[in-house]
Amino acid sequence: MRRSPGGIVVAALVLAATAVVVASGPNLAAAAPAEPYSWKNVRIDGGGFVPGIVFNPGEKDLIYARTDIGGAYRWNQPAQSWTPLLDWVGQDDWGHNGVLSIAADPVDTTRVYAAVGMYTNSWDPNNGAILRSTDKGNTWSRTMLPFKVGGNMPGRGMGERLAVDPRNNRNVYFAAEGGNGLWRSTDYGATWGKVANFPNAGNYVADPSDPNGYLNQNQGLTWVTFDPASPAVYVGVADKENPVYRSPDSGATWERIAGQPTGYLAHKGVIQGKYLFIATSDTGGPYDGAAGQVARLDTTTGVWTDISPTPVADRYHGYSGLTVDARKPGTLMVATQISWWPDAIFFRSTDYGATWTRAWDWSSYPSRTKRYTMDISANPWLDFNSTAQAPEESPKLGWMNESLAIDPFDSNRLLYGTGATVYGTTNLTGWDNGTTVTIKPMAKGLEETAVLDLASPPTGAPLISALGDIGGFHHADLDTVQPNFHDTPALGSNTGLDFAELSPSFFVRVGNSEAAPHIGISNDGGKTWYQGQEPSGVTGGGTVAVGADANAVVWSPAGTGVHYSTTRGSTWSASTGIPAGAKVESDRVNPRTFYAYAAGRFYTSTDGGATFSASAAAMPAEGRVNLKAVPGVAGEVWLAGRTGLLRSTDSGRTFTTAGGGVSEGINVAFGKAAPGTTRPTVFLVGTVDGTDGVFRSDNTGAYWVRINDDRHQYGNAGDALAGDPRVYGRVYLGTNGRGILYADRLGGPTTPTPSVSSSSAGPSPSVSVSVSPSGSVSPSQSPSTSTGCTATYRVTGQWTGGFQGEVTVRNTGTVAITGWKAGWTYTAGQTVTQAWGGTAAQSGSAVSVVNAGYNGALASGASTTFGFLGGSTGTTNPVPSPITCSTTP
């Protein structure tokens, strides 16, 4: 569950073609002018829960997807990608990026509807709305509802709650949550009224005693479906004793259907021919569900039949994700709700549910036989950086599979959503004839990550991200899905990251893992990481700041007070003079100066974070506040908040209000100076001249140009913001649910993007040599094909009195090995003080490292890496040679 307020390659946004000028003119009283920009997503593909996929049964390849916090999408068949439809949602109505339901009109296929709103409690200040479009979602009209809608609330995978009457498409129904009952429009969604005679508003509540107000909502009504061959309308209700109702006369009267199964909630209801099929579970999901059944109603006789694929005695899951094949009567599929271990299960029947086959079956435990294979080469991070132990597999078939949909025009195409992406297949009927079904991610264009922090260093990858749920990435290429997210350590949702401005290969990131570790350290620009130490009491990531020369780190974690480290995160001491929970930032020039904000006060440290002093300057006391120090200018720090944009040039002792008509700020960042200028470009998410947007100033905030437009506001955006120090005009914008956007001036950057390098930018260059099993140095020698291994030693970072290194061990033989041992002898008094990924021992100058339990087994050609911290004396740190490697630990 992502509770923060708010919100694959998206087609470039091209604004009106006007001349490009440096934004340094006079401060005018009129609204800030617009400058043409292109906007695209930094490509991740997916990253969040997709609870609904809707095929329009009236038009081939017209498909919609809904997300819980990231808006709605339409499928682009030629491009094999998704097009976002709700990027016009802005800061004031950010909750309308939560989409509880979508309905596609099967008669007039240009029409589509969406029920929007994110939370039904106080987290979302606005009521929900019904959106309607007559051009397939390119543009929308909105009708506000007199109650809230919960696109990110429990039960959001049930549905669809919106439905268009195929017999009279002027009529649209909405099954509301919260005890608000059934609503109907008779004018294509323009106006709505409550169906007064609908008899049951639902009564299921996940946790009535939840103090946070998230689990104690009545989940209300769950779905609406129509019988295309009769005037009958069916409605699901979150009431375990009365889960299904019917109107035999187009909504004039309603009745509880006799003989229906009870004890569960009906997540889905689908009509095929004379049958109504329902999939039920004991909870509303989407994270849980331990029991349920699949049932079939013969609408001509009124007879219900239990057609559950799994016998009650063997069932440890409910059911959801129900779909039928419109081209093959009797063919239907259903998914588990929810089978975390060892995997989700999909069931398929070709005889109306009389018999079923499974996507996978047990052979001899822990082995499984499968009717499918997973190909995640397009999005390799979906293995979650793991090699699972049988019977689990990486990647999983899925989880939270509430959306499961067979194409009504193509029996071979199936799409389904998970908690991380959209998967699909185009050879589904191979299931029935023994052919392996190939499942691939189909999430290009659908970006749903919640972005918590961004950093664009002056060297290395152009962008490093901290994301909710999947941690974040080292974005070596903005337009290419990266192979894996941050790992070793994995920190869960990463809440903050920072780098040393003057030594930008050094990064620190922090996160909200349930238990330690909560911190990771990198010496190669955020590409690889090792686990840092942490103060006692840490329960979450908070914020982190790295001193300009990498010799001090200040961390403000959850669970304890602010701490500082002078040993790159290996030891910590408590800071004084600063409250717990403060947001911290480093000066980008002075390595001993740090800044912080908490509860309406600004704080400064000039001793590396040991002590902080409060400023007397007036600060915004509430709302969203973000602060950034200026690269290249000592003592200059800016703060964006509800009262506007503040600037200090004396390390926070005094502040002045930035000009240019800024009335409110959300975030501020700095990028490469404009041509002919020396001051960094300033980027602002905020309000200028009464207009919300993203702005750029090339003259220290005196004059602004708007670089987005009203069609592209991205909901609750801006708590993560970074300017690019290498490309003038480029900015990276983080959203809560629409991923990372990057924007360039129209026509492309005026300076070329440097090639990405992962080498250390510290005082000592990275050094790499490979060693044959015999121990002779051979930097370019081809690996031996005999049984054995090689080891590659590399210094990844160096500072006075210490260094960090890593060694890559590779199996150069033709058979797998089960263990390894690497060794070397230092010649300049170096010592290994800490190691990870292996067990290190040192006797005198001789060092040996034996594999850890998880990385000793290496297939032919496979490799693993271990890292270490070392101490050094004097001014030299020569690379030892030779480095031996043995397959006998």
Catalytic residue IDs: 68, 469
In angstroms, the CA 852 to CA 238 distance is 50
* 173 vs 178: CA distance, rounded Å: 16
Whether residue 206 contacts residue 283, with contact meaning beta carbons closer than 8 Å, is answered with yes
Evaluate whether 874 touches 829 at the Cβ level (below 8 Å). Answer: yes
Nearest-CA neighbor of 497 among 470, 457, 537? 457
- Burial of residue 680, with CB atoms counted within 10 A of its CB: 0-12 exposed, 13-18 middle, 19 or more buried: buried
Task: Take residue 560 and report the two structure tokens written for it.
Answer: 């304890």
Query: Nearest Cα to 447, choosing from 526, 528, 379?
Result: 379
- Distances from the Cα of 822 to the Cα of 187, 531, 609, 878, 887, angstroms: 75, 21, 39, 18, 9
Q: Are 285 and 300 in contact (CB under 8 A)?
A: no
List beta partners, residue 494. Answer: 511
Burial class of residue 328 in the structure, from the number of CB atoms within 10 Å of its CB (0-12 exposed, 13-18 middle, 19+ buried): middle
26 burial type by CB count under 10 A (0-12 exposed, 13-18 middle, 19+ buried): exposed
Give the closest residue to 452 by CA, choosing from 93, 94, 718. 718
Q: Is 811 in contact with 850 (CB distance < 8 Å)?
A: no
E strand residue ranges, 63-156: 63-66, 72-76, 81-84, 99-104, 112-116, 129-133, 141-144
Q: Find the length of the chain.
A: 889
Please name the residues in contact with 51: beta carbons below 8 A apart, sequence gap of 6 or more. 66, 67, 68, 156, 157, 159, 286, 400, 402, 403, 417
Gap between the Cα atoms of 204 and 762, Å rounded:
59
What does each C-alpha distance from 64 to 42, 88, 415, 417, 419 come to in angstroms? Answer: 22, 17, 11, 12, 17
Structure tokens at 17: 């073609």
Beta bridge mates, 271: 276
> Is the bond preceding 620 in cis, omega lying within 30 degrees of 0?
no
Neighbours of 164 (CB within 10 A): 27
Which burial class, exposed, middle or buried, applies to 711 when counting CB atoms under 10 A from its CB (0-12, 13-18, 19+)? exposed
Q: How far apart are CA 384 and CA 313, in angstroms?
A: 33
What 3-state DSSP class applies to 530? strand
- The HSE-up count of residue 223 (CA atoms within 13 Å, CB side) is 30
DSSP-based three-state secondary structure for 452: strand
Which position has the token pair 């029409």? 111
Within 10 angstroms of residue 434's Cβ, the number of other Cβ atoms is 7
Strand ordering across the sheet containing 63-66: 52-55, 63-66, 72-76, 81-84
H or E element that contains 432: helix 430-433
* Positive/negative CA dihedral, 703, 708, 711, 713: negative
CA dihedral 787, 792, 793, 797 (to 10 degrees): -150
Q: What is the DSSP letter of 515?
A: S
